[in-house]
Amino acid sequence: MTSTTPVTTGFLTVPDGRLYYEVRGSGPLLALVGAPMDSGPFVAAAELLASDYTVLTPDPRGHGKSTLNDPNQDSTPELRADDLARLITNLDAGPAIVIGSSGGAVTGLALALLRPDLMSTLIAHEPPLRELLDDRDAQRAESEDTIATYSSGDAEGGVRKFFATTGLSMPEPVLQQMFANPRDPEAVASEAFFYKHEFRGTAGWEPDLDGLRTTPTHLIIGIGDTSTDLFCDHTSRKLGAALGIEPELFPGGHGGFMEDPEAFVKRVREVLRDN
């Protein structure tokens, strides 16, 4: 999507790389955070929220325009939380409201443990926390099989196994188009970084539940209303049960902010108003 709201772009140097970020709007600071998703798919929601907030949308380490000095370094929730802390501090506009999607929700949970002073509220939308599930051993084996398949050179096979395991929807024509030649080199690099250096550490992250129960950050758990009985529905509900938090439903599925940005942002405003 092409932005129609004035956007300030920048790079922030961190000890092991350089982070790209965009800022739009005015008001209290709100960050839209993904992993591995970069800032691009958040543009529509960011523009809608920019009427009320200063909206930060970063590219996570190893994706988009954010680069690492060592491209083979693993991305962990703690490292991404430190990145987000540095970005919020750099803007000098916190504490922030953070809306984290998927791996970005895990980033937000790590920030609630590491630097809760920088985040007033976290909406953790569908965090893929495999280790909370009763069948985590089987899920762990499936994750390792997916990584091994991708790393063997069968990128398409690895991606197909990932979607099959998570239950996320990817129409066959879209999957075929993803692997049509020639492939976009930046997309391939981002995809490879995720499967080889990020997937294991994100899905296998074991949150400090006692720490999350006592963090001063206000935690909200979000689930897409069309995600019923899918992987991230299960993980989100397990996290909610462990923390005594009733999840909030948001329109759409795992990427509801892309499917219908207006409906998603309307729900964000409702949840922030009522919590």
Task: Kindly report, residue by residue over 175-218, the tens digit of the pLDDT.
Answer: 888 888 788 899 999 999 999 999 999 999 999 999 999 999 99
* Position 1 pLDDT exceeds 80: no
* Position 2 pLDDT exceeds 70: no
Would you state the pLDDT for residue 181? 79
Would you state the pLDDT for residue 3? 60
Would you state the pLDDT for residue 154? 96
* Position 139 pLDDT exceeds 60: yes
Q: What is the helix (H) or strand (E) element at residue 10, kind and residue range?
A: strand 7-14
Most confident of 150-154, 164-168, 185-189: 150-154
Q: What is the helix (H) or strand (E) element at residue 123, kind and residue range?
A: strand 119-125
* Position 171 pLDDT exceeds 80: no
Query: Do 232 and 128 meet the contact criterion of CB atoms below 8 Å apart?
Result: yes
What spatial distance separates the first Cα and last Cα of the chain, rounded to whole Å?
Answer: 31
Share of the chain above pLDDT 70, in %: 99
Please name the amino acid found at residue 164: A
* Position 33 pLDDT exceeds 60: yes
Average pLDDT over residues 99-125: 98
Would you state the pLDDT for residue 129? 98
Q: Give the pLDDT band of residue 252 (cuts 50, 70, 90).
A: very high
**Mean pLDDT, the chain, whole residue set:** 95
Average pLDDT over residues 37-63: 97
Dihedral sign (CA 13, 19, 25, 27): negative
Bridge partners (DSSP) of residue 250 are 224
Instruction: Report phi then psi at 266, rounded to 5.
Output: -60, -45
Instruction: State the DSSP code for 35.
Output: S
Instruction: Report phi then psi at 21, rounded to 5.
Output: -150, 160
Average pLDDT over residues 143-163: 96
* Position 13 pLDDT exceeds 90: yes
Would you state the pLDDT for residue 175? 82
